[in-house]
Amino acid sequence: MRYKLFFLFFVTSIFCCQSGDEKYIRDLQISYRDISAGYFGADQKLFLVHSSCKEFPKEIVVFVHGSPGSWRDYKKFILDETLRNKYCLVTLDRPGFGNSMVDMSMPDIEKQADLIYEAMQDFRRQFSKLKEGTVFVGHSYGGPIIASIAKTRSSKFDQFIFISSPIDPSLEEIRWYNRIASYSLIRFLLSKEMNHSNEEMMPLREQLSGLVKDWKSQAKQFIVLHGDHDMLVPIENVKFFKNLLILGNKLTKTIVIEDENHFIPWTQHDLVVKSIMELEN
């Protein structure tokens, strides 16, 4: 298992950073003319790609990728006709990844949550006919970020889906490959995004402790999806999620997928779509 994780870590460092987004988006627009992209936010703007947002008023679904990652992790979802018929779909590059401040490392879930929230507020100002309320979908490290939004920025119209996400501080640990990746020589060999990803892991336990302390949220509903064979984020996080969200008296649904790993957005596309479509309107 140790060497499998090491292999995964370094293979990801090679393939995580995809370039040529401008041409890639132009190619998508040949078949999907309502797809567009741009920078949204206040002082520090994030790169967003969105589809099906210009028609009749719709609720927004925002997809937040893990670490490392990019907006492309959710490309299949913003092209999904079932979702497109009902929602305005937004996927983004988090700070330090893809086209969003790639030269800057921001290993802070609260700061990233604030920037994503500001970007979506700016987005709403430019698409004023959108319905009130947002569905936030976060995978892996994206989960704590949207949890921070749920705690400090959510409204009674917002809903949240956590996929393979860490939340229990006691389960979070710095792995051996994180320590190796912190060495100067290894940092030199890795891409900027992989270094940023590794830096995000280092303070995560402490940040989760602050996140779950005095937990409260105005959000309407939460869904938790997790595989019971997740080798990166322990399945025990689901129990912590249940206790945390029930403590806040929120409508909560948890789905544990048998024999499933960490990469649910890729391996369980239909289930994720189904979970989004079954949310309360």
Residue whose pair of structure tokens reads 């989004």 in the numeric block: 276
Q: How confident is the model at residue 11 (pLDDT cuts 50, 70, 90)?
A: very low
Q: Is pLDDT above 90 for 6?
A: no
Q: Is pLDDT above 80 for 281?
A: no
Cα distance between residue 220 and residue 158, in whole Å: 6
Q: How confident is the model at residue 186 (pLDDT cuts 50, 70, 90)?
A: very high
Mean pLDDT across 67-84? 97
Mean pLDDT across 155-164? 96
Angle, CA of 269, 272 and 273, to the nearest 5°: 85
What confidence score (pLDDT) does residue 252 get? 84
Q: How confident is the model at residue 54 (pLDDT cuts 50, 70, 90)?
A: confident
Cα distance between residue 49 and residue 162, in whole Å: 21
What confidence score (pLDDT) does residue 245 get? 85
What confidence score (pLDDT) does residue 249 get? 63
Q: Who has greater pLDDT, 15 or 91?
A: 91
Would you give the distance in Å from CA 77 to the centre of its chain? 13
End-to-end CA distance of the chain: 42
Q: How confident is the model at residue 162 (pLDDT cuts 50, 70, 90)?
A: very high
Cα distance between residue 13 and residue 7, in whole Å: 10
Q: Is pLDDT above 80 for 15?
A: no
Q: Is pLDDT above 90 for 44?
A: yes
Q: What is the phi/psi pair of residue 66, to 5°? A: -85, -155
Residue 53, amino acid: C
What confidence score (pLDDT) does residue 89 get? 98
198-245 confidence digits (pLDDT tens): 999 999 999 999 999 999 999 999 999 999 999 999 999 999 999 988
Mean pLDDT across 71-75? 97
Helix (H) / strand (E) element for 92: namely strand 87-92
Q: Is pLDDT above 80 for 7?
A: no
123-139 confidence digits (pLDDT tens): 999 998 899 999 999 99
What confidence score (pLDDT) does residue 118 get? 98
Question: What is residue 65's three-state secondary structure?
Answer: coil
CA-to-CA dists, residue 88 to 127, 135, 153, angstroms: 10, 10, 20
What confidence score (pLDDT) does residue 129 get? 87
- Share the mean pLDDT of the chain: 92
Question: What is residue 112's three-state secondary structure?
Answer: helix
Write down the pTM of the prediction.
0.93
Q: In what order do the strands lie in the sheet with 221-227?
A: 36-41, 45-51, 87-92, 59-64, 134-139, 159-163, 221-227, 251-257
Could you tell me what percent of the chain has a pLDDT over 70? Answer: 93
